[in-house]
Amino acid sequence: MAQQRVVLTFQRWQLDQPITYRLVKDFDLVTNILQAKVTPDEGRMSLELSGLEQNIEQGIKWLKEQQVIVYPLATGLSVEKDSCVDCGACTAVCPTGALEFDKDWTLNYEEDRCILCLACVPACPVRAIQERE
């Protein structure tokens, strides 16, 4: 049994398509949604796929044929503390408390608490947080 974590980005017209259902039914994959977010313009979903390696490959190929944008999910974050201006934007959007200030206003990143939702990456005005692959 193989596993792969991916980020899928859908256009607005694709939002009502039964994408995960098709992955389960047509490619015999187990899908675990790690995070999903829908805006008026697009949807973004972090997904863990489990199944036979060739089925995962075929499933991803099929997603791309449906014009879904597929990226590997980051393995972690790199937080550049020298660039940080302590604005708090990342801590405000972090759903798990993985990014928090301590008592002396130093930003801490607790990797164990991070679910890689990536909400903090676009929130940072100085691009101090980047995905690690």
Residue window 43-82: x/- pattern of binding to ligand SF4, with contact defined by CB under 6 A = ----------------------------------x-----
How near is the Cβ of 71 to ligand SF4 at its closest, in Å? 14
Contact status: 84 vs ligand SF4 (CB under 6 A)? yes
Contact status: 87 vs ligand SF4 (CB under 6 A)? yes
Tokens for 68, please give them: 């879904």
- Strand pairing of 107-109 and 69-72? unpaired
- Closest by CA position to 46, among listed 111, 128, 114, 123: 114
Contact status: 128 vs ligand SF4 (CB under 6 A)? yes
How near is the Cβ of 108 to ligand SF4 at its closest, in Å? 10
Q: How far apart are CA 11 and CA 128, in angstroms?
A: 28
DSSP string, 63-82: HHHTT-EEEEPPSEEEE-TT
Per CB under 6 A, the list member of 2, 38, 52, 115 interacting with ligand SF4 is: 115
How near is the Cβ of 37 to ligand SF4 at its closest, in Å? 11
Phi, psi of 109 (to 5 degrees): -115, 120
How near is the Cβ of 38 to ligand SF4 at its closest, in Å? 17
Q: How far apart are CA 42 and CA 58, in angstroms?
A: 24
CB atoms within 10 A of CB 94: 20
Point out which residues bind ligand SF4 (CB under 6 A). 77, 84-90, 93-96, 98-99, 107, 114-120, 123-124, 126, 128-129
